[in-house]
Amino acid sequence: MTVRELYDQCDLTLVAGEKGLDNIIEHGFVGDLLSVVMGRAQENTAWVTIQSHINIVAVATLINCACIIIAEDYEADADAISKANEENIPLLVSKQSSYEVVKQLIHLGIL
Amino acid sequence: MKLHYKVDGGAFTSAGFAAGQVKRTLRQLGISPEIIRKISIAMYEAEMNMVLHANGGNVDVELAKDYITVVLEDQGPGIEDIDRAMEVGYSTASQKVRSMGFGAGMGLPNMKRYADELTIDTKLGVGTRVELKVFI
């Protein structure tokens, strides 16, 4: 599915990276330790995290994440937003916990 | 082809810039995604280490016909116990840095996992030189 389809079907706020909405999501990953995400997440992943600073965009760009979903309604830093716009990485925010977001991803068929 | 970058210390916000630039260049040159992924991950980890532990340093990238090398040199504190530093989960990072999701003790293990060759020369109080090599 695309990030746009995910965005349309879930209660998410898009805060940056609108140009990347047609990115394809093939996998999911949840993690807040950047090196673990870096080393373990596959390409075209919807990455769920509670980190909200600019380095998440650097990591997502390097490993070709489809999008980043910031859980727990954490507010993305301003420089993370501008970097995500620059790199076309959709930055979505959910009010729910990482666990609840992952449940929705699974429900939508991202296994 | 040779590329040079100066990495600022303490600049968490620009960390990963050099790795991102190298990735972009390699993509433009048509290098395969798997090779790009390997060198990007290894280089990002090494670059982050320089920012987090060594107040920055210099990065030199060499792209040859059948390999890519990245040499990262700093004048930081050096690595006291390299064997322990190679262990997954071992970290000397500060609480502040850990709360940002760094300091998982995965940096050197990730470099070892993704680089085909990893060479580390380090001297306490003098600095560290990390060489990463990925064969194309």
| pLDDT digits 0-9 by tens, A47-61 | 999 999 999 999 999
Query: What's the whole-number mean pLDDT along residues B53-57?
Result: 92
User: Tell me, what's the pLDDT at B79?
Assistant: 95
Res. B11: pLDDT tops 80: no
> With an 8 Å Cβ cutoff, is B36 touching chain A?
no
What is the pLDDT at residue B13?
67
Pairing of strands B2-8, B56-63: antiparallel
Average pLDDT over residues B86-91: 93
Q: What is the pLDDT of residues A75-107, one digit of tens each?
A: 999 999 999 999 999 999 999 999 999 999 999
pLDDT of residue B97: 86
Percent of the residues in chain B that have a pLDDT greater than 70, as a whole number? 97
The whole-number average pLDDT for the span B33-41 is 95
Give the burial class of B4: count Cβ atoms within 10 A of its Cβ; 0-12 exposed, 13-18 middle, 19 or more buried.
exposed
Contact of B113 with chain A, judged by CB distance below 8 Å, is answered with yes
Tell whether A86 lies on the interface with B, counting CB pairs under 8 A.
no
By C-alpha distance, the chain B residue nearest A52 is B100
Residue B69 has pLDDT above 90, yes or no: yes
Mutate to test the interface with A, among B34, B35, B43, B44 (most CBs of A within 10 A): B44
* List of chain A residues whose C-beta atoms are within 8 Å of the C-beta of residue B24: none
Do the Cβ atoms of B107 and A34 come within 8 Å? no
pLDDT (0 to 100) of residue B67: 97
Q: Cβ contact (<8 Å) for B16 and A32?
A: no
pTM score of the predicted model? 0.89
pLDDT for residue B87 is more than 70: yes
Mean pLDDT value of segment B104-123: 95
The answer to whether the CB of B39 falls within 8 A of the CB of B22 is: yes
Q: Is A52 on the interface with B (CB under 8 A)?
A: no
CA-wise closest residue to B41 among B135, B111, B120: B111
* pLDDT reported for residue B17: 85
DSSP string, chain A: -BHHHHHHHS-EEEEE-GGGTTPBP-EEEE-S-HHHHHHH--SSEEEEES--STHHHHHHHHTT-SEEEE-TTPPPPHHHHHHHHHHT--EEEESS-HHHHHHHHHHTT--
Predicted confidence at residue B123, as pLDDT, reads: 96
Q: What is the mean pLDDT of chain B?
A: 93
- The whole-angstrom separation of Cα B83 and Cα B69 is 23
| CB atoms closer than 10 angstroms to residue A18 | 15
Nearest CA in chain A to B101: A33
What is the DSSP secondary-structure string of chain B?
-EEEEEEESS-GGGTTHHHHHHHHHHHHTT--HHHHHHHHHHHHHHHHHHHHHSSEEEEEEEE-SSEEEEEEEE-S---S-HHHHTSTT-----HHHHHTT--SS-HHHHHHHH-SEEEEEEETTTEEEEEEEEE-
Q: At A46, is the pLDDT very low, low, confident or very high (cuts 50, 70, 90)? A: very high
Q: What number is the ipTM of this complex?
A: 0.83
The band of B63, judged by pLDDT with boundaries at 50, 70 and 90, is very high
List, in order of start, the domains of chain A with CATH numbers.
Answer: 3-107 (3.40.1390.20)
Q: Would you place residue A9 in the very low, low, confident or very high pLDDT band (cuts 50, 70, 90)?
A: very high
Query: Where does the pLDDT of residue B75 fall: very low under 50, low under 70, confident under 90, or very high at 90 and above?
Result: very high
Residue with tokens 């260049």: B25
% of chain B exceeding 90 in pLDDT: 83
